[in-house]
Amino acid sequence: MIKKTIKKIMSLAVLLLVSAFGFRLYTYNNTSDAAALIDQLNPLVQTETLYVKTTDKYAYKFPDAVSKIDNFTYIQNCFDKNGHARKLSYTSFGRPLTPKRFLRVTTKGQSIQTWEEIDEQEIPQKIISLL
């Protein structure tokens, strides 16, 4: 009886671990809301800082449900401090972003934690040419 219980617990642990790794692979470069939610909950996904140069080409705009103010969603390649690219979706609320500005984006996988406009001097030299 105890051996069966231990086997079930071990099987469940292995299943959870494999699922966490599988979800991590699935969500990388996936810009859907589902991917952002999965990454928020996945303990294997680490917080990281990415950099992006804004553009005037937003992916889509949509009105806020309450205020009816337009929001703008951008889907772009962002880069970490080592120059590794990732596709990421982020939203500007109430107005489009000014093009050709630099953003520092803090993410947990595809889930945006914060983003802020920064000066070019704050970007790692290694990735300025990539932006």
Say yes or no to pLDDT of 104 above 90: yes
CATH superfamily of 2-128: Protein of unknown function DUF1093 (2.40.50.480)
Q: What is the pTM of this model?
A: 0.79
Predicted pLDDT at 25: 64
* pLDDT confidence tier of residue 12, bands split at 50, 70 and 90: confident
Average pLDDT over residues 83-108: 92
Q: In this structure, what DSSP letter does residue 119 have?
A: -
Read out DSSP for 61-124? EEE-TTT--EEEEEEEEEE-TT--EEEEEEEEESSPPPTT-EEEEEEETTEEEEEEEE-GGGS-
Tens digit of each residue's pLDDT (9 = 90 or more) over 23-56: 666 677 778 888 888 888 888 888 999 999 999 8
Predicted pLDDT at 107: 94
